[in-house]
Amino acid sequence: MLYREAGQFRTSYAQDSQIFPLRQDRVGIAILLIAAVMLPFVANSYWLSAILIPWLVLSLVALGQNILMGYAGQLSLGSAGFMAVGAFACYNLILRIDGIPFVVAVALSGVCAALVGIVFGLPSLRIRGLYLAVATLASQFFIVWALDKFGWFKNYDPAGVITAQPIVMFGHNFATPREKYWVVLAIVAVLALLAKNMARGSVGRGWMAVRDMDVAAEVMGFSLLRTKLQAFAISSFYCGVGGALFAFAYLQTVEPSAFGIDLSFRILFMVIIGGLGTIMGSFLGAGFILLMPIFLNIFFHSAFGKSVDATITSALEQVIFGVMIIMFLIFEPLGLARLWQLTKERLRLWPFKH
């Protein structure tokens, strides 16, 4: 009853190509944004720093992975490696350039990650699918190794774990979780909007053409070199920005071991569970993968008390993750985003049957 397009006419091209053609969607997004901005006034700092900030950051990374995997169809297992590039680039930029605003440093670290992404995306021109997955695995191992081995990246810090510098912009130090959350929210919102527009524009159509059939796309005039490397670059940019935020706003430390292959897998799972080739899915998937272990923990503690061994819960968590992945692939390959779409379809008719 509430959610329907009846009576909303599009009378110009500009209206037809709106990002949210439905009034209800626009209102919904506006409410969501306002709610997200106001949230710190309600949520305590545990919620902000342990759940909301990582959720937003990981959504951004999942978005990057989704651009590469869901839109451009290039299977990648190395997203955590690009995150590491972003994190270390940000650390070095702030360290070596005096008074650089945090946002500029983050953007530049995204650019660094994009450059690295282009280099490691080169094999994708010759190989696809499984072979590419292995090639990206190479980048994952190589990047983490290189960041660990060459002291320059860590400013010859002997401890191995570096404390991230404070987030400083326009002479203000964003130190509290609330302020950090706003910084992250602003960056993620802008980049998500950008991704949405790229995905529905000519860039995204190029990616999807390559995903669906690269030979056919090439015949139609898409340059494979350009399209694929573009996807790699933009995806790595998102991962790099995400990595910088992950290290500076969430972990507060910069260390290579935080960006291991486990994280890559978790990001892959976010995209699969959230929904391949959707912007929405990246957010849903990231939330799901992030929150599920927390809920499981709470559940175990309330069910069995404190006696449960941490190794058992983590093993159980692993099993549940694996089962979920398989279930989603079998029953809902398009992920949580598809469920949301189905709900919307239902809503359009509700409360009538047809």
Partner 1 sequence: MPDFWFFLEVLVGGLLSGTMYALVALGFVLIYKASSVFNFAQGAMVFFAVLSFVGFMELGLPFWAALPVTVGLMILVGMGTERFVLRPLVNQSEDTLLMATIGLAFVIEGVAQLAWGVDVRRLDLGIRDEPINWVMDKTGMLVSQLDVTAALVAGIMVAALALLFSHTKVGRGLRAVADDHAAALSIGIPLKHIWMLVWATAGVVALVAGMLWGARSGVQFALVWVALKALPVLIIGGFTSVPGVILAGLIVGAIEKIGEVFIGPYVGGGIEGWSPYMLAVLFLLIRPEGLFGEKIIRRV
Least distance (Å) between residue 219 CB and partner 1:
7
Judged by CB, which is closer to partner 1: 21, or 322? Answer: 322
Phi, psi for residue 220 in degrees, rounded to 5: -75, -5
Contact 292, 313 (CB under 8 A): no
**Least distance in angstroms from the C-beta of 300 to partner 1:** 13
Task: Decide: 84 and 240 in contact? Cβ < 8 Å.
Answer: no
Backbone phi and psi for residue 42, each to the nearest 5 degrees, phi listed first:
-100, -45
CA dist., res. 199 & res. 77, Å (int): 21
Q: Minimal distance in Å, beta carbon 125 to partner 1?
A: 9
Query: In whole angstroms, what is the distance from residue 66 CA to residue 74 CA?
Result: 10
Q: Which is nearer to partner 1, 100 or 137 (CB)?
A: 137
What's the closest the beta carbon of residue 290 comes to partner 1, in angstroms? 16
The secondary element (H helix, E strand) that includes residue 163 is: strand 162-163
Identify whether the C-beta of residue 283 lies closer than 8 Å to the C-beta of residue 66. no
Nearer to partner 1, 179 or 317 (CB): 317
Q: Which is nearer to partner 1, 110 or 256 (CB)?
A: 256
Burial category of 87 from C-beta neighbours within 10 Å (exposed 0-12, middle 13-18, buried 19 and up): buried
Shortest distance (Å) from residue 268 CB to partner 1: 7
Contact residues: partner 1, CB under 8 A: 75, 122-123, 126-127, 129-131, 133-135, 137-138, 141-142, 145, 148-150, 213-216, 219, 265, 268, 272, 311-312, 315-326, 329-330, 333
Query: What are 49's two structure tokens?
Result: 């720093």
Nearer Cβ to partner 1, position 6 or 130? 130
Report the nearest approach of partner 1 to the CB of residue 145 (Å).
Answer: 5
Q: How far apart are CA 237 and CA 112, in angstroms?
A: 8
Report the residue number, 36 or 138, with the smaller CB distance to partner 1: 138
